[in-house]
Structure 1
Amino acid sequence: MREHYSIGDLARRTGLPVRTIRFYSDAGLLPPTDRSSANHRRYDVAAVARLDLIRTLRELGLDLGAIRRVLAEELSVAQAAAAHADALDVQIRILRLRRAVLRAVARRGSDPKELEFMHRVVQLSEDERHRLINDFIDKTFGGLEANDDFVELLRSMRPYLPDEPTTAQVDAWIELAELVQDEDFIASVRRMAAHQAAERADGGRMGLHHELTIKVRDRVTAAIAAGVDPASPAASEVLDEVVARYAETFQTSDSAAYRAKLLTRLRTANEPRTERYVHLIDIINDWPVPPPLAPVFEWLITALEERPAI
Structure 2
Amino acid sequence: MDATTLYSIGELSRRTGLPVRTLRFYSDSGVVAPTTRSPAGYRLYDHDALLRLELLRTLRELGVDLATIRRVLDRELSLAEVAAAHADALDVQIQVLQLRRSVLRVAAGRGSDPEETTLMHRLTRLSGEERRRLIDDFVEGTFGAADADPAAAAMVRAAAPDLPRDPSGEQVAAWVELVELMGDEDFRARLRRTATYRATGRIPDIEREAGEELMEFTRQKAAEAVKSGIDPLGDRAAPVVDDLVHRFAEVFARTPDTEFRDWMAQKFEEAHDPRVERYWRLVWIVNGWQVVPDLVPVDPWLVRALRGTGTGRVDK
Structure 2: gaps spanning 5 or more residues: none
Number of corresponding residues: 288
Counterparts of 1:126 and 1:209 in 2: how far apart (Å)?
Answer: 37
Describe the superposition over 1:221-266 as per-residue Cα deviations: whole angstroms up to 9, x where unpaired.
124546694432x65665677x59xxxxxxxx63329976533223
More moved, 27-36 vs 161-170: 161-170
Q: Aligned residue for 1:255?
A: 253
Q: Aligned residue for 1:187?
A: 186
Counterparts of 2:227 and 2:126 in 1: how far apart (Å)?
Answer: 42
Checking the alignment, whether the CA contact within 8 Å between 2:8 and 2:42 is kept in structure 1 is yes
1:20–1:214 CA distance, 2 compared to 1 (3 A): farther
Question: How many Å apart are 1:103 and its aligned residue?
Answer: 2.5
Counterparts of 2:109 and 2:278 in 1: how far apart (Å)?
Answer: 20
More moved, 295-304 vs 209-218: 209-218
Matches within 5 A, 1:94-109: 94-109=96-111
Q: Which amino acid aligns with 1:283?
A: I
Q: Aligned residue for 1:295?
A: 301
Question: How many Å apart are 1:31 and its aligned residue?
Answer: 0.9
1:14 aligned residue (13, 16, 35): 16
Describe the superposition over 1:130-189 as per-residue Cα deviations: whole angstroms up to 9, x where unpaired.
4434544555666596776545433433111223333332222122112323x4xx3255
1:263–1:172 CA distance, 2 compared to 1 (3 A): closer
Q: Aligned residue for 1:231?
A: 238
Counterparts of 1:229 and 1:81 in 2: how far apart (Å)?
Answer: 65
Question: How many Å apart are 1:93 and its aligned residue?
Answer: 0.8
Counterparts of 1:215 and 1:134 in 2: how far apart (Å)?
Answer: 39
Q: Which amino acid aligns with 1:254?
A: F
TM-score by length of 2: 0.72
Q: Which amino acid aligns with 1:190?
A: A
Matches within 5 A, 1:72-91: 72-91=74-93
Q: Aligned residue for 2:71?
A: 69
Checking the alignment, whether the CA contact within 8 Å between 2:174 and 2:282 is kept in structure 1 is yes
Matches within 5 A, 1:266-281: 266-268=268-270, 271-281=273-283
* CA root-mean-square deviation: 4.1
1:195–1:34 CA distance, 2 compared to 1 (3 A): closer
1:302–1:24 CA distance, 2 compared to 1 (3 A): same
Checking the alignment, whether the CA contact within 8 Å between 1:25 and 1:32 is kept in structure 2 is yes
Structure 1: gaps spanning 5 or more residues: 201-205, 245-252
Counterparts of 2:310 and 2:149 in 1: how far apart (Å)?
Answer: 24
1:231 alignment partner, SS class = helix
Counterparts of 1:176 and 1:72 in 2: how far apart (Å)?
Answer: 52
TM-score by length of 1: 0.73
1:52 alignment partner, SS class = helix
1:5–1:195 CA distance, 2 compared to 1 (3 A): closer
1:132 alignment partner, SS class = helix
Aligned sequence identity (%): 44
Counterparts of 1:196 and 1:68 in 2: how far apart (Å)?
Answer: 59
Checking the alignment, whether the CA contact within 8 Å between 2:194 and 2:276 is kept in structure 1 is no
Question: How many Å apart are 1:26 and its aligned residue?
Answer: 2.3
Q: Aligned residue for 2:177?
A: 175
1:265 aligned residue (264, 267, 275): 267
1:282–1:259 CA distance, 2 compared to 1 (3 A): same
Describe the superposition over 1:171-211 as per-residue Cα deviations: whole angstroms up to 9, x where unpaired.
22122112323x4xx325536867999xx9xxxxx745599
More moved, 82-91 vs 155-164: 155-164
Question: How many Å apart are 1:12 and its aligned residue?
Answer: 1.8
Q: Which amino acid aligns with 1:153?
A: M
1:189–1:303 CA distance, 2 compared to 1 (3 A): farther
1:219–1:189 CA distance, 2 compared to 1 (3 A): farther
